[in-house]
Structure 1
Amino acid sequence: MCGIVGLFAKSPSLEAHVGALTAQMLAVMGDRGPDSAGFAVYGADTGRLKLTLRSPDAAARDGALAALAARFGEVRPVRRDTHIVVSVPERDEIAARALLAESGVAVVGAGRRMELYKEVGRPEAVAAAFDLPAMAGTHAVGHTRMATESAVTTRGAHPFSTGPDQCLVHNGSLSNHNGVRRMLVREGIAFETENDSEVAAGYLTFRMREGASLEEALTAALADLDGFYTFLVGTRTGFAVLRDPIACKPAVMAETDDYVAFGSEFRALAGLPGIEDAHLFEPEPGRVYAWERPE
């Protein structure tokens, strides 16, 4: 089941509303995935690496924050419910991750622009807990989950991120993910869960590390990832959509002069501004759709 939404602002005038519109779209998809939800928002680039940290233990979060501040100085923390976003110089990423591993606080996402949040609960409650409606950015992706192959946990919620400023949300199921995971582990890709969607994210990270563009990595996925799926991928400068060659899962897109929007169903898009004049279309099976904005 599950529900996917995405919004890419082509016009700077829409950036202040990206969070509010994404929250609205996410809530509409609640009956496709009522057990957990998550989203990634791509905000301003400060020239530092942002790490999104998560722990249900407030004391652990405070301890990790104190340790980071003691080691790296000002880390500019932004607290949102069970998550904290901190920033460090990019050269300190390995040291920061090592310190956080000792603290028991998870790093759910990292990048110069991306902040990533996810929790158990209905999407409208998750969006409210992290104050998604107040967030601004160039683009965002979101997911509402109906767990059918694993327990309902925050670690199993989407998005999944295995590379800087890159995340993936997924509706569907992969049949060969365990074999692909073993190959990726040998290539140095680390995984936190058994979720097949994290394998898809790791596969794209691996291909792009080899020098492929996002479009080339997604095209390669058509040959290497078996199953039925719709992927929506966020990167530092844009996002992309891919459906499997059979396209079992529903999907609809809308494009105007101001934005590109994606939803698992049209009703997720129905409240967007100017939707009555948008170009509405169903993404074709086995075709990569991608949009970019210059940095």
Structure 2
Amino acid sequence: MCGIVGLFLKDPKLEPELGAMLAEMLDIMCDRGPDSAGFAVYSAGAPGFVKLTLRGPAGTDFTALGAAIAHPILPRDTHAVLSVPVAEEATVRAALGRLAPEIRVVGAGQRMELYKEVGLPADVARRFKLETMAGTHAIGHTRMATESAVTTEGAHPFSTGTDQCLVHNGSLSNHAGVRRRLAREGFRVDTENDSEVAAAYLSYRMRGGDTLGEALTHSLDDLDGFYTFVVGTESGFGVLRDPIACKPAVMAETDGYVAFGSEYRALAGLPGIATAKLWEPEPAKVYFWDRAA
């Protein structure tokens, strides 16, 4: 049992409140997943630059590391954001691996920043100052570990593609076979978590030319189990439930936003929720909202 939340803002006036709105939703979902939490926020990005979200051991001196690689790094607790020209990304990644091999890149993209840690979701959100973050859309997850240990590596979201990440509630029965298939195609899955397999599967399909919607549709044939996926991309977010749809899910839409929650109570504090269109996502149906549309 885990909790998923997501927000896609249609009204730019709400963008300064994105983090505060998502933080409240994560807080409410604490009892669905008390062991760890994470979120991805899509905020402003500079053309020609990529933001690398880094994670290091507690006490990592990110300021000194930034000086060593000649690029400033913005610390946020155990994580930090490093923005570099796309043309220099490979060089910077190599320098990080040489100077600080304990540092992991947990997300990369022009607009995406990704944070996750062990602990109560409300505490995790506060550690990273989620309530201060602005942006256009975001997804989050509260985890109750079942198939793997309680670790930061096992927390969601999982990012296996540029500006792309996934949160998942449920369980995949054939993830080991899919993992082997992905490995043959050159896609590395680092953790035991079946959710990272799902994220890598979508990246694999999209690298082959699928849109996100097409990749999610193919997953209905290739991924067995019971699941709800919420996926973030540079310009929007998508939702998919398996054909049985046994995991809870509810959505709300107003003129200002589209919101997803594992339960209605995650949405109850949103502005205008009393007059929002509410519905339960249909089984095996792909939903997607896109800023570029």
TM class by shorter chain equals over 0.9
Q: 1:97 aligns with which of 93, 96, 112?
A: 93
Q: For structure 2, which runs of at least 5 residues remain unmatched after alignment?
A: none
**Partner of 2:18 in structure 1?**
18
Query: What does 1:1-295 align with in structure 2 at a 5 Å threshold?
Result: 1-47=1-47, 48-59=49-60, 61-62=62-63, 64-69=65-70, 75-102=71-98, 103=100, 104-294=102-292
Q: Which amino acid aligns with 2:8?
A: F
Deviations 1:140-195 (A, max 9, x none): 00000000121110000000000000000000000111111111112121222111
C-alpha displacement of 1:63: 5.3
Equivalent-residue separation in structure 1 for 2:61 and 2:72 (angstroms): 18
Distance 2:194 2:90 in 1: 26
Contact map agreement 1:173 1:196 (CA 8 A) in 2:
yes
Q: What stretches of structure 1 move > 6 A for 4+ residues in a row?
A: none
Where structure 1 has 5 or more consecutive residues not aligned to the other structure, the ranges are 70-74
Deviation of 1:92 (Å): 1.9
Q: CA RMSD in A?
A: 1.2
Query: SS of 1:58's equivalent?
Result: coil
Quick check: 1:60–1:105 contact (8 Å CA) kept in 2? no
% same residue? 68
**Normalized against structure 2, the TM-score is what?**
0.96
Corresponding residue for residue 72 of structure 1: none
Which residue identity does 1:10 align to in structure 2?
A: K
| Count of aligned pairs between the two proteins | 290
Between 57-66 and 194-203, report the one with greater CA deviation: 57-66
How far apart, CA to CA, are the structure 1 residues paired with 2:222 and 2:169? Answer: 17
| Amino acid of the structure 2 residue aligned with 1:22 | L
TM-score (norm. length: structure 1): 0.96
* SS across alignment from 2:29: helix
Deviations 1:50-80 (A, max 9, x none): 00000124346455433322xxxxx342111
